[in-house]
Structure 1
Amino acid sequence: NVATDLALNGSGYFVTQGLDGQILTRAGNFVFNQDGLLVTGTSGLKVQAFRIDANGEVDMSQLSDVQIDFAAQAPPKFTENMDIGGNLPADAPIGEEVTLSNKIYDEQGNVLNVVTRFTKTAENEWSFSIENDEGGFTAASGTMTFNVDGSLDTPDSVGLTWDTDFVTSGSTLTVDFSGMTQYGGSSTATVRDQDGYASGKLSSFTIDPAGKVKLNFTNGQQEEVYQLAISDVDNPNGLEQLGENFYAPTAASGETVTGRAGNELQTTIVAGTLEMSNVDLAEEFTSMIIAQRGYQASARVITTSDEILQETVQLKR
């Protein structure tokens, strides 16, 4: 399947920009040209859409060309939160140590290795330390205590201060301990999550049923950049046919409503497929048979008239 092959499931038309205004089409065989513009595959008309900003808001104030920079990179994000959860064994002897290792990211997307150590110091009490041999943040240490039922008492979390050589001044790394327990058995303590990531290259794009163009990056991030515009008219039979499945609105086609699939217009977009002929074959075959029968009847009338004329000529002779 070709990701830029699109079909409309419902009424409406894709919107393209012609020299004299908007041109409508249901033929969704689109391609990206050498400038990264989404255009029609036959005539190179630019497909129109609404821009989506960094907050995910769709700008409905104006239409825009769909243009993608295929050399784009997604910026990195430094780790602000780290989640450590799981169980520390209640029956562990004093002095037993549980060590965890994981990766976090600084503001440039560089990887830092973090080591977290838990050491049992007394009944229902463990000391902890979080450090990185390469620096990056101020090491933290403290005491973790548990209630008699094995639930965590203190602390729920601890904050580490990033060094300014790695992350902008004043930034902190919060380590969440709220998922820790102390029950009998083996240790299941683990770093469950961290929210940083490195930079990523654009790897692919998708277009969803609402017409949102989404960029997928190698660091697992996704960015919505456009939502395709869809137009519909009161009277499709009043559209001016321009050839190659293109149409222009006219006074006879009535009001043109331009919006988004699944929002202002109740239609959806199917990616990776093209719309087949929407002619009802049974109806067309029936019409063809009726026309053929009518032609045959007319031909017989002409033949009969010709025979009568010939007989008349023969009688005069």
Structure 2
Amino acid sequence: MGVSGSLYSGVSGLNANGNAMSVIGNNIANANTVGFKSSRAIFGDLLSSEISGSGGISQVGRGVGLSIVDNIFSQGTFENTETNTDLAVEGSGFFIVSDPSTGNSVNNYTRAGAFRFDADGYMVNPEGYNVMGYQLDDNGDTIGDLTPIWANTQSFTSAGSTSSIDLNTNIDSDSVVVGAYPSFDPLDASGTSNYATSIQVYDSLGSTHLMTTYFTKNTNQNWEWTSVVDGGEVAGGTSGELEVVGKGTLQFDASGDLIAIGVDDSTDGTGTLTVNQLYTVAGDTSSDPVFPKPTATTLAGALDWNNGAVQNNLIEIDMQTTQYSSPSVVVSQEQDGYGTGTLVQLSVDDEGNVVGNFSNGTPRKLMKIALAKFTNPNALDKAGNNMFAQSNGSGVPIVGTVGSGVGNIFTNALELSNVDLAQEFVKMITTQRGFSANSKTITTTDEMLAEVINLKR
């Protein structure tokens, strides 16, 4: 190879260290880039030349070359944000994004989860690429193939009719006995009851109806309960008159605790009472509860709303009632119905579900974000804008959702760059020294060649 061969060895060292400095510079430049994954330059020596010596054949190296630039996919730290569509992946997964201008024909992969919903309701990254996911069926299970995450921002959610009421009350044990059962008269409600409480209930169309439950004391531990609505709102009723839609009895023990509920099982309120025991008290002083706990119900066929809603609406009433010597009062009451609502906000939960929050207070899962992982992510091709593309070396993506082994999602968070600045500056020093040393090889070889030239003067 001769003296001049060392010139080319030095040049190879300059090229290799120059490329390494480019990798380091790119890492440092992206130290604050969301989801950025750093790289490292791996060197390899070049094929050696053989020379003959007195001791036999020897090899002399011909310099260094850049073997590969590795992507380092170590986990970056998380930054908490105030945006509920900012997402971070924990684990080996990638978000799947696709260019809508190409008809979403090719997928790219990213760890940068700074997403948002555009004016058309599509979930996109800052470059406008669609975030990919799955549609959901009524049970919340994924169906179909990968498709852009989309929400109809002009959508309505249907109403839900009331099916249960939780009524937590105390009725005063010192109340005056009104009369023997049956004593409540819907034509003289206030005169034939001791206490009443009202709550708005919903039908299947989302219309509200005022339902009032009256309590009438019959004996010291026995009360009558009667639920009514305005007769003009149900079939066969008269507007302005109370229509009985549920009735029964309440039985309390000497401590004021409810021990039995009586429910009229007829369709017209004139049938026999079905008595449901809340507690087994015979020979048992501990009053162990019976499961499942019985509840009161409205009369069969009584809630036939006359506005075209679903007929024969039945409502269970959980009578969480006590009879203590204290003024009658409603502690709390709730019902599970709701009216129609418009979409007011979109968010993502930790399971990757895109959740629509509607004006009626009911959330609904709309779609689910997909994640992908690769057997060899280090071989992914960088596609720019924090995105990677599949390569022959990376293998095909394994696509799934949160909980299927492809990673976890954190909301209101972004994964930061995994660049370690301290380590990059140390690499910068060693690379600079390597570059300088190789330049010295060239200058020294030049001096040696000059000496050869000067042999003949």
Query: Do these two structures clear the TM 0.5 threshold for a shared fold by scoring above it?
Result: yes
Aligned-partner Cα distance in 2 for 1:79–1:256: 46
Q: Would you say 1:58 and 2:142 are equivalent positions?
A: yes
Q: Would you say 1:40 and 2:40 are equivalent positions?
A: no
Q: 1:80 aligns with which of 163, 171, 176?
A: 163
Cα gap change, 1:64/1:262 in structure 2, threshold over 3 Å: closer, same or farther?
Answer: same
- Summarize deviations over 1:185-237 as a string: whole Å, max 9, x none: 33244562211111112121211222111111121101111111110101112
Q: 1:11 aligns with which of 92, 117, 123?
A: 92
Cα gap change, 1:141/1:123 in structure 2, threshold over 3 Å: closer, same or farther?
Answer: farther
Structure 1 unmatched runs, 5+: none
Contact 2:210 / 2:229 at 8 angstroms: preserved in 1? yes
Aligned-partner Cα distance in 2 for 1:68–1:164: 33
Partner of 1:152: 259
Paired AA for residue 274 in structure 1? L
Paired AA for residue 152 in structure 1? I
Q: 1:282 aligns with which of 422, 426, 439?
A: 422
Q: Would you say 1:26 and 2:111 are equivalent positions?
A: yes
Aligned-partner Cα distance in 1 for 2:176–2:323: 13
Paired AA for residue 196 in structure 1? G
Aligned-partner Cα distance in 2 for 1:48–1:132: 49
User: Secondary structure of the equivalent of 1:282?
Assistant: helix
Q: Would you say 1:133 and 2:230 are equivalent positions?
A: yes
After superposition, residues 163-312 of structure 1 pair within 5 angstroms as 163-166=304-307, 167-177=309-319, 179-189=320-330, 192-265=333-406, 267-306=407-446
> Structure 1 length as normaliser, TM-score?
0.87
Aligned-partner Cα distance in 2 for 1:30–1:123: 64
Cα gap change, 1:154/1:298 in structure 2, threshold over 3 Å: closer, same or farther?
Answer: closer
1:45 Cα shift?
2.4
User: Secondary structure of the equivalent of 1:79?
Assistant: coil
Partner of 1:99: 196
Aligned-partner Cα distance in 2 for 1:147–1:35: 59
> Structure 2 length as normaliser, TM-score?
0.62
1:310 Cα shift?
6.2
Aligned-partner Cα distance in 2 for 1:90–1:201: 46
Contact 2:222 / 2:249 at 8 angstroms: preserved in 1? yes
Cα gap change, 1:135/1:173 in structure 2, threshold over 3 Å: closer, same or farther?
Answer: farther
Q: Would you say 1:112 and 2:209 are equivalent positions?
A: yes
| Larger Cα-atom Rg | 2
Aligned residues between the structures: 313
Cα gap change, 1:170/1:234 in structure 2, threshold over 3 Å: closer, same or farther?
Answer: same
Paired AA for residue 233 in structure 2? G
User: Secondary structure of the equivalent of 1:62?
Assistant: strand
1:311 Cα shift?
7.1
Cα gap change, 1:40/1:116 in structure 2, threshold over 3 Å: closer, same or farther?
Answer: same
User: Secondary structure of the equivalent of 2:147?
Assistant: strand
Aligned-partner Cα distance in 2 for 1:142–1:262: 48
Partner of 2:218: 121
Contact 1:125 / 1:143 at 8 angstroms: preserved in 2? no
Aligned-partner Cα distance in 1 for 2:389–2:129: 13
User: Secondary structure of the equivalent of 1:29?
Assistant: coil
1:293 Cα shift?
0.9
1:284 Cα shift?
2.0
Cα gap change, 1:154/1:274 in structure 2, threshold over 3 Å: closer, same or farther?
Answer: closer
When the two chains are superposed, the root-mean-square deviation of aligned CA atoms in Å is 2.6
Aligned-partner Cα distance in 1 for 2:231–2:84: 44
- Summarize deviations over 1:117-170 as a string: whole Å, max 9, x none: 212232222233222236434524645242433323232413142124143223
Contact 1:102 / 1:191 at 8 angstroms: preserved in 2? no
Paired AA for residue 101 in structure 1? S
1:306 Cα shift?
4.7
Contact 1:82 / 1:191 at 8 angstroms: preserved in 2? no
Cα gap change, 1:134/1:283 in structure 2, threshold over 3 Å: closer, same or farther?
Answer: farther
Aligned-partner Cα distance in 2 for 1:258–1:269: 14
1:68 Cα shift?
0.8
1:291 Cα shift?
0.5
- Summarize deviations over 1:64-84 as a string: whole Å, max 9, x none: 211111122211112122222
User: Secondary structure of the equivalent of 1:132?
Assistant: strand
Structure 2 unmatched runs, 5+: 1-81, 179-192, 235-242, 263-294
1:255 Cα shift?
3.8
